[in-house]
């Protein structure tokens, strides 16, 4: 049995039958981390000793097992974990140990997960490549010379490299789906408000949403069962309107899927479009009714996002000033100088860029010209989605315009980097759920297929994604998992 190839659902079955222990599964993943993470750099901190202890305690309970007992899980370092360093991949929080745990993480812990550690990310979730981390970039397990995407690149790379059975990420403008696409795994962005943001260190509060990065759609549905729900500590969270069952084998007969024409045109790599078009034909063969959908204002999504999100970031990141926690610059003459030096030393270039952009957009004399107009565009995009989803059950597009690009290829051109999220950002502006599943390979690199649904319809979205996954038949894994011996270690 190759332990690294097991999905979460399969691993739970084996552990429930007594043919696999939590300790064995955890050791397989810790061994893979020891073998490969020096090259991949998916983790900022590995909690190996505590993971072994957690797994041993789970095995000791034998028949009295929690629902997710023993599943080795990676957690994006934007989520607070009590007693475990949480840095947001920033120097300004280099030694910060929270005194509480994020609600979503606590819910998984209560369900029995084993915590492997905290994963690398773009600093404060600002980026599309995980090259903006203050602690160095993460590398794509499919090609170590390429990026894993971002900002949840560490979580996606950990799953793709066999360094976690699944992981938590966060999605502000595509930060779960885009790295999932680059790394050939599944990434789900839930409807805004589905999952508590309490303990998620904020980038842009009206966009941020926590979600799963998994090996397949079934595992994403399983994790979502334990993530959704109203949290009294987060006023933006809601009571989820339905249960989220595991999907079943079913074709797509009668499901109306609309190809968003604005997201398949100029700017999409020919290799990506070839895989996307082949995937669409497989959906048709599975019974889906395919048509053309339109989001006429989506061309303005990118500029609107890069006004609104930095504006929210400029407010959220004001708390990092050296007064209460985190880095504090020494040898300063007054508090203003301490603020300036602390933030200058603690924040990276991309974070500084977005704080300045956001502060400018909110400044007197420019607020209505920039922030106000961007909010109007957001409203129009919401209306576009509403109209499109009246005609179709689901909308589809490539997840990303290209496959994973080379390390350093776009770091000197922020605007080109921002365009990596042109297919995902409209969804965040509208607060809708969307999932990326691997559809095939282009020149040996994974291509993601995005499916977008109506608000709070995760069961329908996950069922359709599962059916699509079966139709695509994608069963490739990264070279770091391929060829592992039978025990997976």
**Catalytic residue list:** 76, 151, 175
User: Distance (Å, rounded) from C-alpha 487 to C-alpha 25?
Assistant: 10
Three-class SS of residue 447? strand
Of 37, 128, 123, 124, the closest CA to residue 74 belongs to 37
Question: In degrees to the nearest 10, what's the CA dihedral of 344, 345, 346, 350?
Answer: 60
Q: How far is CA 435 from CA 78, 237, 343, 432, in A?
A: 21, 20, 36, 10
User: Distance (Å, rounded) from C-alpha 27 to C-alpha 473?
Assistant: 30
Structure tokens at 49: 């000793």
Q: Do residues 312 and 207 touch, judged by C-beta distance below 8 A?
A: yes
Q: Do residues 188 and 224 touch, judged by C-beta distance below 8 A?
A: yes
User: Distance (Å, rounded) from C-alpha 249 to C-alpha 257?
Assistant: 19
Please give the full DSSP string across 397-440, using - where no structure is assigned: EESSSSSPPBTTSSTT-HHHHHGGGTTTHHHHHHT--EEEEEEE
Sign of CA dihedral 417, 423, 424, 426: positive
Burial, 360: exposed, middle or buried (Cβ in 10 Å; 0-12, 13-18, 19+)? middle
Helices (H), 193-324: 217-225, 270-285, 301-316
User: Distance (Å, rounded) from C-alpha 218 to C-alpha 44?
Assistant: 28
Q: Do residues 489 and 24 touch, judged by C-beta distance below 8 A?
A: no
User: Distance (Å, rounded) from C-alpha 393 to C-alpha 463?
Assistant: 12
User: Distance (Å, rounded) from C-alpha 189 to C-alpha 434?
Assistant: 5
User: Distance (Å, rounded) from C-alpha 262 to C-alpha 293?
Assistant: 9
């Amino acid at each position: 049995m190759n332990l690294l190839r097991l999905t979460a659902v399969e691993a739970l079955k084996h552990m429930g039958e007594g043919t696999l222990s939590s300790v064995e599964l955890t050791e397989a993943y810790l061994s893979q981390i020891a073998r490969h993470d020096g090259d991949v750099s998916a983790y900022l901190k590995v909690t190996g000793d505590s993971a072994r202890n957690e797994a041993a305690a789970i095995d000791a309970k034998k028949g009295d097992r929690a629902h997710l007992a023993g599943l080795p899980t990676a957690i994006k370092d934007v989520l607070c974990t009590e007693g475990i360093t949480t840095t947001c991949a920033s120097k300004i929080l280099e030694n910060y140990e929270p005194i509480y745990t994020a609600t979503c993480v606590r819910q998984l812990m209560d369900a029995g997960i084993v915590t492997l550690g905290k994963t690398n990310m773009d600093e404060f979730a600002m980026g599309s490549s995980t090259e903006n981390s203050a602690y160095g970039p993460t590398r794509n397990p499919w090609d170590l010379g390429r990026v894993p995407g971002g900002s949840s690149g560490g979580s996606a790379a950990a799953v793709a490299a066999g360094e976690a059975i699944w992981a938590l990420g966060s999605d502000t403008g595509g930060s779960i789906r885009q790295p999932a696409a680059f790394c050939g795994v599944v990434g789900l962005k839930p409807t805004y408000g589905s999952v508590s943001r309490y303990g998620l260190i904020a980038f842009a509060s009206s966009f941020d949403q926590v979600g799963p990065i998994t090996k397949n759609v079934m595992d994403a549905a399983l994790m979502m069962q334990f993530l959704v729900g109203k949290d009294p500590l987060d006023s933006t969270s809601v009571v989820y309107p339905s249960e989220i069952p595991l999907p079943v084998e079913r074709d797509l007969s009668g499901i109306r899927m609309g190809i968003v024409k604005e997201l398949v045109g100029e700017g999409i790599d020919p290799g990506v479009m070839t895989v996307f078009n082949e995937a669409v034909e497989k959906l048709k063969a599975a019974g889906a009714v395919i048509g053309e959908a339109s989001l006429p204002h989506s061309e303005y999504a990118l500029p609107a996002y890069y006004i609104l999100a930095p504006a929210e970031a400029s407010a959220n990141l004001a708390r990092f000033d050296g007064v209460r926690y985190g880095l504090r610059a020494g040898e300063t003459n007054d508090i203003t100088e301490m603020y300036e030096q602390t933030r200058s030393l603690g924040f990276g270039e991309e974070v500084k860029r977005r704080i300045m952009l956001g502060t400018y957009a909110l400044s007197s004399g420019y607020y209505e010209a920039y922030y106000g107009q961007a909010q109007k565009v957001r409203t129009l995009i919401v209306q576009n989605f509403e109209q499109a989803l009246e005609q179709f059950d689901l909308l589809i597009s490539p997840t990303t315009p290209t496959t994973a690009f080379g390390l350093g290829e776009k770091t000197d051109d922020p605007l080109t980097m921002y365009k990596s999220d042109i297919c995902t950002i409209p969804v965040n502006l509208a607060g809708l759920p969307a999932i990326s599943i691997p559809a095939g390979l282009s020149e040996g690199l994974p291509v993601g297929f995005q499916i977008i649904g109506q608000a709070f319809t995760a069961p329908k979205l996950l069922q359709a994604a599962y059916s699509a996954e079966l139709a695509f038949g994608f069963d490739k894994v990264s070279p770091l998992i391929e060829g592992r011996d039978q025990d997976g270690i």
